[in-house]
Amino acid sequence: MKFLFRTLLAVFLAGVAVLIVLNVWVVQSTKHLVYNKPQDVPQYKVGLVPGTSNRLSSGSPNAYFQQRIEAAAQLFRLNKIRHIIVSGDNRTKYYNEPLEMKKALIASGVPASAITLDYAGLRTLDSIVRSKKIFGQQRLIIITQSFHAYRALFICRFEGIDAVALAAGSGETDPWLSTLREYFARAIAVLDLYILNTQPRFLGEPEFLPLTDE
């Protein structure tokens, strides 16, 4: 029993060590690309807003959703971006993240013509890879919370995408549960990219964004 306990303890501690190392790698390699103020973000043509539900399971508004919409609208008003891809889940007719993001952006003053909906952004990896392979973007501003931005940028760097991020809701304290989930999500991202070669669930034909070179 002692041998079994020691073995299990060693495996557990090794797993924790690996988890910590992978998180340090993801964060340290990307934190210099995360901006906290919209006015400090360099000018790019396109912003990518990863999907999240506009409401929590309780029915109350989701602060993450609102923060991302406000940050994206700010970047558009500051002319930091000229087009926005809203990428999320559209699993049923009753759950449509991209459409809800589009509605919220329009209500914030972003014209519909400057918004493209990606209905197959089922996870962060899908949203980023599709922004390159389907929408032809090699440069992006990722608009999301800081704890999520590191993983998104890590995937971008792996895919050869020149990207920076704006930390939506910068200065606010992230709930511990979201931070804990992200610790595991970062490790899974490394596994997806370097071991499993995970690809988006859905690709399809390329779609060109209505952009002009000015």
Mean pLDDT of 142-163: 97
Q: How confident is the model at residue 93 (pLDDT cuts 50, 70, 90)?
A: low
Angle, CA 110 vertex, CA 150 and CA 68 arms, to 5°: 25
Residue 25 CB burial class (10 angstroms; 0-12, 13-18, ≥19): middle
Structural domain contains residue 88: yes
Percent of the chain with pLDDT over 70: 96
Structural domain contains residue 68: yes
Query: Rounded to whole angstroms, how far apart are CA atoms 195 and 189?
Result: 10
Structural domain contains residue 116: yes
* 70 phi and psi angles, rounded to 5 deg: -60, -40
Structural domain contains residue 142: yes
Percent of the chain with pLDDT over 90: 79
Domain harbouring 164, CATH code: 3.40.50.620
Contact in structure between 143 and 170 (CB atoms under 8 Å):
no
**What's the confidence (pLDDT) of residue 208?**
87
* Cβ-Cβ contacts under 8 Å for 205 (sequence gap 6 or more): 134
Structural domain contains residue 39: yes
Structural domain contains residue 22: no
* Comparison of pLDDT for 153 and 1, the residue scoring more: 153
> Which structural domain, as residue segments, surrounds residue 167?
32-53+61-196
Residue 201 has pLDDT above 80, yes or no: yes
Query: Rounded to whole angstroms, how far apart are CA atoms 130 and 195?
Result: 20
Measured in whole angstroms, the distance separating CA 41 from the mean position of its chain's CA atoms is 17
Residue 212 has pLDDT above 60, yes or no: no
Query: Rounded to whole angstroms, how far apart are CA atoms 153 and 204?
Result: 23
Structural domain contains residue 44: yes
pTM, to two decimals: 0.91
Number of domains in the chain: 1
Residue 87 has pLDDT above 90, yes or no: yes
Structural domain contains residue 24: no
Q: How confident is the model at residue 173 (pLDDT cuts 50, 70, 90)?
A: low
